[in-house]
Homo-oligomer: A and B are copies of this chain.
């Protein structure tokens, strides 16, 4: 009968890719593992972090599908699954038309300014 009310302090990091890539180290890992798969030890060597921390970051990335693993003996090779980054890319892309808009406005202003200064040549220290 308890009225448990849920207080979610923050969407769990394991919930989606947006949270996963919010962490700088995890972004480094994704970049490192984009081109080629690597065992954990190698990742540890690249980042300056303890092995357990790296493993924990890898776990987060794996939970949201940003990396995949392949076991070879006692080594575990990780590689980033770029496909899982596409949703982020597409979300940011929805704003592309807006920044283009802004750039156009800036360009137009610049051109206007240029025309104006043509009409009044050498306008020194205008303010």
Contacts and interface: CB of A to CB of B under 8 A. Distances in A.
Interface of A: 10-11, 18-19, 21-24, 27, 30-31, 34-35, 80-83, 85-86, 88-89, 91-96, 98-99, 101-103
Contact of A88 (B82, B92, B98): B92
A93 B19 CA distance: 18
Nearest to A84: B99
B31 A94 contact: yes
A110 to B, nearest CB: 15
A96 B92 CA distance: 13
A30 to B, nearest CB: 8
A50 B104 CA distance: 36
A7 B79 CA distance: 29
Contacts of A22: 11, 18-19, 21-22
A55 B23 CA distance: 24
Among all A-B residue pairs, the 6 with the closest Cβ atoms: A82-B98, A82-B99, A89-B92, A22-B22, A82-B95, A19-B22
Contact of A23 (B10, B35, B94): B10
B99 A95 contact: no
